[in-house]
Structure 1
């Protein structure tokens, strides 16, 4: 188990690294995180939902993702309320107080343990990821993701500490000091993550850490910038903003407050023809060639925000001036004439006009559609190319009465998706659509005359495989694998 001294110390990526390392070494690993809080999710082959981080870890392990890898997923809808996804299916919304009630907590703990037990019957070893800090003493009696899971699974725990944020000695020592003896005995090592500089300068630091914490330091992993692994949270998207570039196609992704599935754009980031940036600044849209409205967990609230901050007017003006506009999932809903929420699932607003760029209208429904899709374009020259993606949405979108249906995509089972207005205006419910080279070529084709080069990123799946192997090599080279395996064998 990889637990942390706090949030964002790198547990997810370290767990992904060990999923790949163990796969390389002949084991059959699988990831597990009892409870995850994220807007970035994925869909299993049988239509169940789980956190994106565990889907990434499963991909690193070379296995299909299962809902048992993340039995409890919390998808925030406000500061106090989240949608609860249990064993892959939404069970309703709860505020924090009700969620942590004793009866609800006991039920969730049992479900988490049952999922772990099912998973451990199929794979070995299980690479467990904790959440946040292991030493939130006010939450100990309600813990269903950290040390309670370690105790249930009899896992050797490696504490991950982030040296880049400072205070690494205090955070590691304090985390262990606050654990009761019956939990602390499970801590078998400390992994120092995100080290910058010459590793030799921390040799004395390792000895000091071991002396005060009474457990070995299993490794010091350097900070990296040249390995690209899908991230769990979208906190750094604004930092990816780049200046407009000549000789490339400039694509602006609108930063909305409840942005979900931001990994939809990772393949574009690696395409040499593209300059991708994220923005909520109206001025940035003036010179963009393509504007993408992304998915949202709270579509109506984000549409209201677009109107308040002037982005709605800027998007409409950009489209009228010839900029391509593409909507994905919630962004697709926003591009229509109206969004209705008759059961007030998203809040108190029962009806709101859309941006009126696409002739479609949406009704928010209680039922969430989660499915993996094989599809092809229904328009253009790539109608025979088979592509893959997935859907996660609560809503039905149809053409406005009197408007002819004009689907963007067609599924292998005969269903249709999205709306195609013209080569510069379209919407889709399919997440992961931009992982497919034919679709990227399709949306870039109106701007081919802008390119200085025809070089492009070709196969995103191959690219990700290279990244997982680079990550495994990076971590393997900086940890004591003999000690790691001793910990693993001890707990077998």
Structure 2
């Protein structure tokens, strides 16, 4: 039996410093080294979520980390998930189930933080009894002193479980010395004592040029720099935050099948398109430009956390007209989840699940009517796509029921039910997230655009495992694993 390791926790000097990816890399390293790791993040704010095998919801980042560990994603890995519905409001998901919408003020000032923390620690202890080591992720910056009393995800967790804390800083954004030094100086002594290492992430160029900088950081802080991880572009791990979409905007390109994903304000689950991005014949880009939408061969309306609000924005911005024009020109238009609801004739919200608007006419592209409900469906599904024989995989996370008035279902689920609406090869919608990860669906998209290309059989799970192994190797070469194992080998 492997030695019981102390939990390790990756925290940041700020948001988007790479905590989720580094965490996933260490999850794979511990698995490779014969341990049985599991990820944990007490509270996550993200529109990118996943349905576990138990039908409970968790943040996509923790689902990815669980995959790197080689285990099934569980809601305990992310017991509190905040899914923004507007600039000031979010749906609160507790232990995998929605408990209602709250404003930021209500959540941070009105909720019982001790009770929420107790729920988070209950989930942690359940996992810690089964897995070794626990690989914990913090959120944002650990030195937001105005939020310290409300903290249930950063150093309060580290103190509760005596975690070995590694502070991650993003050198690519600049100011790494000030961010690291300032972060540590703002921590109270008992929290700073838990910081066992500093990890510099996203380094570009010759790492030897940072040798002196490394020494300076250690002299300034008294904390060892345990690694300098180079920036990479050739390792593909699902991203957590929609901030990455800023780098994926683009336009149509000659000679390729151009797929435009409509950039919605409340867009969710943008990882639905990661596999399409890697098909050589496809140029996939995100856009809110009506001209580019009309020029694209395929337009995809993605998921949304606020379908009615996003549909209203589409109309006011001219994007709705561009989508309709594209379809009338003979281009393909597909919708997923909220995008599927928008493509229908009507959306009703009698319970005011999304806001004060009771009714909104849809785009009228599909003969369906949706009624939003307070009950959320979260389930993993096996299905067959249209008349194909191969079994496909996806998952559902949505609030609402959609009635098919005409046409035919898009998919037949393994439980005997059906999903979606198929009008023709160029116009359909579905509730199935992950549908574009399946080869028969990709083939159908290319065929609808006149591309009779026989794609090679693609095993998505093998591909992902290869990427996790590449990430682990990248981190191993960049970090002092002997030191890190040293600080977590004392047990809990």
Scaled by the length of structure 1, what TM-score is found? 0.96
Counterpart of 1:411?
A: 413
Alpha-carbon distance in 2 for matches of 1:15, 1:459: 24
Q: CA deviation at 1:179?
A: 0.7
Counterpart of 1:368 (choices 373, 376, 381) is 376
Counterpart of 1:79?
A: 87
Alpha-carbon distance in 2 for matches of 1:236, 1:145: 23
User: Secondary structure of the residue that 2:490 maps to in structure 1?
Assistant: helix
Q: CA deviation at 1:487?
A: 1.2
Alpha-carbon distance in 2 for matches of 1:338, 1:469: 46
Cα offsets for 1:196-224 (capped at 9, x unmatched): 11100100111110111111000000111
Kindly tell me: are residues 103 and 328 of structure 1, through their superposed partners in 2, closer, same or farther at Cα, counting changes over 3 Å?
closer
Counterpart of 1:308?
A: 316
User: Secondary structure of the residue that 1:358 maps to in structure 2?
Assistant: coil
User: Secondary structure of the residue that 2:379 maps to in structure 1?
Assistant: strand
The answer as to 2:385 corresponding to 1:385 is: no
Q: CA deviation at 1:339?
A: 0.3
Is the CA contact 1:271–1:456 (under 8 Å) kept in the aligned structure 2? no
Tell me which moved more, 93-102 or 213-222. 93-102
Counterpart of 1:37 (choices 33, 38, 45) is 45
User: Secondary structure of the residue that 2:120 maps to in structure 1?
Assistant: helix
User: Secondary structure of the residue that 2:227 maps to in structure 1?
Assistant: strand
Is the CA contact 2:396–2:433 (under 8 Å) kept in the aligned structure 1? yes
The answer as to 2:484 corresponding to 1:484 is: yes
Counterpart of 1:446?
A: 448
Counterpart of 1:6 (choices 3, 14, 20) is 14
Q: CA deviation at 1:435?
A: 0.8
Counterpart of 2:275?
A: 267
User: Secondary structure of the residue that 1:101 maps to in structure 2?
Assistant: helix
Is the CA contact 1:272–1:456 (under 8 Å) kept in the aligned structure 2? no
| Divergent runs of 4+, >3 A | 453-457
Alpha-carbon distance in 2 for matches of 1:368, 1:455: 36
Alpha-carbon distance in 2 for matches of 1:101, 1:245: 49
User: Secondary structure of the residue that 1:201 maps to in structure 2?
Assistant: helix
Counterpart of 2:467?
A: 467
Counterpart of 2:235?
A: 227
Counterpart of 1:157?
A: 165
- Give the number of equivalent residue pairs: 484
Scaled by the length of structure 2, what TM-score is found? 0.96
Counterpart of 2:5?
A: none
Alpha-carbon distance in 2 for matches of 1:73, 1:91: 10
Alpha-carbon distance in 2 for matches of 1:486, 1:238: 39
Cα offsets for 1:64-83 (capped at 9, x unmatched): 00000000000011121110
Counterpart of 1:424?
A: 426
Q: CA deviation at 1:466?
A: 1.3
Is the CA contact 1:407–1:420 (under 8 Å) kept in the aligned structure 2? yes
Is the CA contact 1:409–1:418 (under 8 Å) kept in the aligned structure 2? yes
Counterpart of 2:439 (choices 417, 437, 440) is 437
Q: CA deviation at 1:454?
A: 5.0
Q: How large is the Cα RMSD of the aligned pairs?
A: 1.3
Q: CA deviation at 1:342?
A: 0.7
Alpha-carbon distance in 1 for matches of 2:99, 2:291: 41
Tell me which moved more, 243-252 or 330-339. 243-252
Unaligned runs of 5+ in 2: 1-8
Counterpart of 2:206?
A: 198
Q: CA deviation at 1:190?
A: 0.4
Kindly tell me: are residues 456 and 291 of structure 1, through their superposed partners in 2, closer, same or farther at Cα, counting changes over 3 Å?
farther
